[in-house]
Chains A and B, each alone.
Chain A
């Protein structure tokens, strides 16, 4: 649940263990979720940790939220409650005025009657939710950043392809990294670019022929050729294909709509990829530039965060510490950049490697709540 993940990061200790529901609570109807009787049946409002039971008494699916009045901050949510179904929501409530908000499928959300709770027991964390409209602006800004980055990507990939075409593989080894990093800075995690990502930056995993599979294409295919002594002719077809795919992505991108609700997910997903594939060395096909890629991914993450910053500031108390941790990862990675030549992963000292892994892991724990905090709630 959202509050739990916020608590985890903030180190708040007020999260008491929710008391298990007493046997009598496990049957019968709960608080009604419907367009006509939203919030009715909240018979025993009290402070402290508890399970609230909701029953969808409408004819279509619904979402239920526990909000405070009049601010509308959300304390708990239940998605996709089917008609006729009763489910429990663990929640902690302090003294205050609350109401149930019913978002019944294809209807505007309704707020039920106010309920007053007294007592000294502290409440759980709450969040003034964002909606889809709030995220359109940041999504557009991010798209602008990517559009600019794609121009750089095409230019640098063209340089790489030209070096390969000339048969100058030594030069190509030098121009490969700037082109690859231009792509990695875009933050192409988890389907942002659809099938283009697999073609441009895919690994041989999942291909029956591995590195020799005809469907293994893109930067890592070119990398494999350049660092495994393949002939210029062999590398050329891979580099030409890469340039073609990169151009196709640039041409296609203006037609692609980035779903705004995906943007908050990217805040941690870009670096999840980094931890899984770069810091393990899994994506390396010979260039030894995993740490350079990690640094480019960090830059992509920063841009994601920058466009979300205005929404995050009033909602995410750990934002300053997140920024501090971003800088810590940055300086640890920069220390491995020796004038454009990066320490290969396997040459890192044990201490340096642990420091980087630890700092990235810590940063990820701080970035993850951004996805749940900025998840659009209530109306589409």
Chain B
């Protein structure tokens, strides 16, 4: 499978050790990977869609964005071939090849002599900037892919925005993720450089149901049904029909928003005010007109917003009208914790990600409704980007580079 030239990324001894043997050797040994019963079965790498979109989020994630530094289109194709190989190998697990005394070890070894797959999911996307004049791909750009604009309540730091490629790694353990990122970076240094990365995690249910965010509210209760294929075709998957290029079929538009939560300020707000901002009970997660988390709010019975305020987050984000139904998004939220800020406050928040068929119709329509919602004083979006997650790699003859070559 590795009949391509990866000289642009691997030189000298390292290349000699890995280029010929690693991929085949490690993938071939996949069946010998240690079985870890605690690890959820990873979706197969090959498929119509990439893993990591519809699957239940794992306990840990790395969301990262890369700038491509390959010199030309061939270099980019090489990069994507290598990325495909590494994703295939890492999600399968196996024993890394022994290079003897010829090179440093082919694997970092942090997962032991035999690498477990660890339920790893790899999700790769492309940003609008990849389709600029560097690689001659302008005609292949997904029609709805733009750079993420600045929204009025944003406080964006350019160092935390955009990127040519998105790479999300998900698993239940940090060492699986770090091993994967370390391996991928080692094999692709000449082709791409990390622009930004944020580690995230999901919280366990407290006590039951949907996870709570760091504002203490259950977040992501109302999501489209991922088991409903028709709903996914309507809301999540690109169809590959004009104006989108045909290659996009089976992919999905991804929006990433890095959102700081000002938790100290939030903790100084009364419970009633907090609940009125969200429109849900903090304790149960039920909408304020309901009793249970999964109760659907009945906005039509409360036209003046006496129970669930008209400005509340759930009411504005999803008004639950026939007109706004097509703007629903598939949310995949992860929490982040990156230490303290300049004044000694916790630097924590949300890696908000969502998948959709059309960013303008879905995320942007929702985000525009949310401009100046009361919650904006307690959160601060500072980064993120728009990407198109590629269709799945369907079999061992295909790669992430297919959208360039097909």
Contacts and interface: CB of A to CB of B under 8 A. Distances in A.
A329 B16 CA distance: 65
B313 to A, nearest CB: 15
A276 interface: yes
Contact of A275 (B283, B290, B343, B377): B343
A203 B150 CA distance: 14
Contact of B307 (A80, A207, A357): A80
A79 B272 contact: yes
B300 interface: no
Contact of B291 (A2, A86, A205): A86
Interface size bracket, B side: 35 or more
A86 B271 CA distance: 18
A268 B268 CA distance: 9
B291 A276 contact: no
Interface string B168-183: 0000000000000000
A207 B150 contact: yes
A13 B153 CA distance: 40
B150 A80 contact: no
B288 interface: yes
B91 interface: no
Consensus secondary structure, chain B interface: loop
Contacts, number: 86
A85 B291 contact: yes
A205 B307 contact: no
Contacts of A368: 268-269
A272 B265 contact: yes
Contacts of A61: 302, 306-307
B252 interface: no
A190 interface: yes
B133 interface: no
B41 interface: no
B264 to A, nearest CB: 7
A281 B341 CA distance: 11
Interface in B142-197: 149-156
A356 B95 CA distance: 55
Given A82-B288, A82-B307, 8 more contacts: A82-B301, A88-B283, A206-B151, A207-B150, A275-B345, A357-B343, A357-B344, A365-B268
19 contacts: A1-B271, A5-B270, A60-B306, A82-B302, A90-B283, A105-B306, A205-B156, A207-B150, A275-B345, A276-B265, A280-B342, A282-B155, A358-B344, A361-B344, A365-B268, A368-B268, A371-B269, A371-B273, A375-B270
Interface of A: 1-2, 4-5, 60-61, 77, 79-82, 85-88, 90, 105, 190, 203, 205-208, 268, 272, 275-276, 279-282, 354, 357-358, 361, 364-365, 367-368, 371-372, 375
Interface of B: 149-156, 262, 264-265, 268-273, 275-276, 281, 283, 286, 288-291, 301-302, 306-308, 341-345, 377
